């Protein structure tokens, strides 16, 4: 049994009877039922209705890979997988093989998705958006501080156009109505002198139902906010276009124009916060960011500026 072909069959619109699937794959209906259960065990959300058959849950919306490739043709190489460990790792392998200067990797499901500090990023099949944009930039690593800020602003501005009131938490978290909507993981590879390989990973909760209990913090998704299932393919293409526009602007003109915009999205702007790095805790008032994308923190002894590292920001 080619499990990928069964997934493709289920991804087609409507119900698919056990009898029709058994005929298509030259096996018994009991055999089809066995493979359906294996897919469920692997995290594929498949509904079954007596007299109708099987279908993916309505919030499971597989990507239109042909449309994505057509939109990105001539702009970036495409890596589109049904399942992968990590799209960031897919991009790194692309660069190591010296296959090009720009690549866009996305997937229906990640098995080793991660956020900052190695945290697991829950990635169910065909419900959310997981992608990585890989770019070879003629900039040194030292010139790329604040890039996660630019990526966050690109996403926030795009969703604001759709009347979604996004909030951003320094340096790379995306919030909606005070709950986690997504995250950004920027990785840099190369020497201190240009060029530099930039890998921008993004995960966004799109159509994932709230009964999914595998996330250990308050979270939100776009479909719950909007009241309708979101077209993941269209949004993914828009995100690629928005990101590349903002990154081009950043490479040509730097951070200053983006730093000015940050405060309108800053989740904890002018609020008391704690910065935690290992065992160290700093408390102060969040004053926003500087022109390098670093956090400005007003403490009892004066203002300090934090420009990165393995740091967690929390409200007091």
Q: Tell whether omega for the bond before 171 is within 30 degrees of 0, i.e. cis.
A: yes
- Active site (catalytic) residues: 116, 180, 314
Q: Which of 25-39, 101-115, 201-215 has the highest mean pLDDT?
A: 25-39
146 near 255, Cβ under 8 Å?
A: yes
What global pTM score does this model have? 0.90
C-alpha–C-alpha distance, residues 129 and 239, integer Å? 10
47 near 56, Cβ under 8 Å?
A: yes
C-alpha–C-alpha distance, residues 283 and 313, integer Å? 10
**Residue 1 pLDDT more than 80?**
no
Residue 181, token pair as written in the block: 């909507």
Residue for token digits 């005929």?
A: 23
Report pLDDT digits (tens) over 203-262.
Answer: 999 999 876 555 667 899 999 999 999 999 999 999 999 999 999 999 999 998 899 999
Domains of the chain are 3-56 (1.10.10.10), 65-262 (3.30.930.10), 272-315 (2.30.30.100)
What whole-number percentage of the chain has pLDDT above 70?
Answer: 95
Strands 77-84 and 102-110: parallel
**Residue 119 pLDDT more than 60?**
no
């Amino acid at each position: 049994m080619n499990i990928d072909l069964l997934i493709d069959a289920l991804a087609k619109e409507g119900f698919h009877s056990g009898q029709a699937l058994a005929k298509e794959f030259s096996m018994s209906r009991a055999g089809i039922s066995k493979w359906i259960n294996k897919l469920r065990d692997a995290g594929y959300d498949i509904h079954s209705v007596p007299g109708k058959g099987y279908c993916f849950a309505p919030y499971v919306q597989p990507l239109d890979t042909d449309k994505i490739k057509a939109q990105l043709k001539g702009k970036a190489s495409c890596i589109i997988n049904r399942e992968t460990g990590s799209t960031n790792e897919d991009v790194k392998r692309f660069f190591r093989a010296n296959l090009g200067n720009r690549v866009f990797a996305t997937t229906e499901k990640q098995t080793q998705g991660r956020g900052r500090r190695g945290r697991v990023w829950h990635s169910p099949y065909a419900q959310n958006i997981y992608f990585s944009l890989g770019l070879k930039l003629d900039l040194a690593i030292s010139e790329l501080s604040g890039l996660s800020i630019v990526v966050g602003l690109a996403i926030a501005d795009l969703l604001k156009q759709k009347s979604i009131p996004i909030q951003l938490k320094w340096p790379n978290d995306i919030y909606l109505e005070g709950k986690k909507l997504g995250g950004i993981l920027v990785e840099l590879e190369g020497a201190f002198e240009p060029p530099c390989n930039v890998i921008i990973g993004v995960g966004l909760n799109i159509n994932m139902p709230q009964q999914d209990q595998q996330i250990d913090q308050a979270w939100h998704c776009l479909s719950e906010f909007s009241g309708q299932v979101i077209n993941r393919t269209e949004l993914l293409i828009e995100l690629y276009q928005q990101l590349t526009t903002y990154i081009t602007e950043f490479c040509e003109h730097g951070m200053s124009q983006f730093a000015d915009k940050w405060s309108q999205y800053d989740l904890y702007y002018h609020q008391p916060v704690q910065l935690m790095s290992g065992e160290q805790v700093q408390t102060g008032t969040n004053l926003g960011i500087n022109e390098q994308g670093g956090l400005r923190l007003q403490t009892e002894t004066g203002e300090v500026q934090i420009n990165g590292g393995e740091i967690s920001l929390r409200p007091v």
